[in-house]
Amino acid sequence: LEGEVTQTSDHRPAREDILAVLPNYLGEIQQVPPAFSAIKINGERAYNLAREGETVEIEPRTVTIYRLDLVEMQGNEAAVFECECGKGTYVRALARDIGRRLGCFGHITQLRRTAVGPFTPEDLVPLEELTALEGDLAALDNEIDQNQRDPTFSARLDVLACGSAGRRLGGGDEL
């Protein structure tokens, strides 16, 4: 992890406390994207403004969380979650908000995308195979058409660590 710790807490939530707050983050929720995001504010990317030290105010947006599971506790310092969410969701902001609600602050130490729409790691095609297609992507287009569904994003949050809120990187915003 890089940057300066912005907040700390000695509070460590119990498994029951975590399970009790998760339903608050299911379905359609309002989420404030982080200042270090690609959202445009008056024609400028928020991350550019934040890096320049400007205070970035971003309005909450509606995002959808289809599934949010506590997978495991790693002692009292960290927890592993799996999340399935709709487009536009900032998973790091979700972890930020859960940590704040639990009163322990928190940040993600590892984030892995486990699926995008119908595609999982098992569907990945090595770059060499894509290059060998030399523009003949009809089979891929057919596969996409057959598996079309609402765009969702599944992620494994390995690990939401409690105890510190985020890292200050350059412009002063927490991640």
Over residues 32-71, the pLDDT tens digits come to: 998 888 888 888 888 888 888 888 889 999 999 999 999 9
The alpha carbon dihedral of 21, 92, 63, 42 has a sign of positive
Report which residue type is found at 51.
R
Does the pLDDT at position 19 exceed 50? yes
Q: What is the per-residue pLDDT for 143?
A: 54
Report which residue type is found at 159.
V
Cβ contacts of 120 within 8 Å, gap of 6 or more: 114
Beta strands in 7-77, from DSSP E residues, in sequence order: 27-31, 40-41, 44-45, 61-74
pTM over 0.75: no
Q: Ramachandran region of residue 153, left (φ > 0), alpha (ψ -120 to 50) or beta?
A: beta
Cβ contacts of 108 within 8 Å, gap of 6 or more: 91, 92, 95, 157, 159, 160, 161
Top pLDDT among 1 and 101 is at 101
Residue 49 near residue 110, CB atoms below 8 Å: no
Burial 13-34 (b: 16+ CB within 10 A, else e): beeeebeeebeebeeebebebb
Residue 78 near residue 109, CB atoms below 8 Å: yes
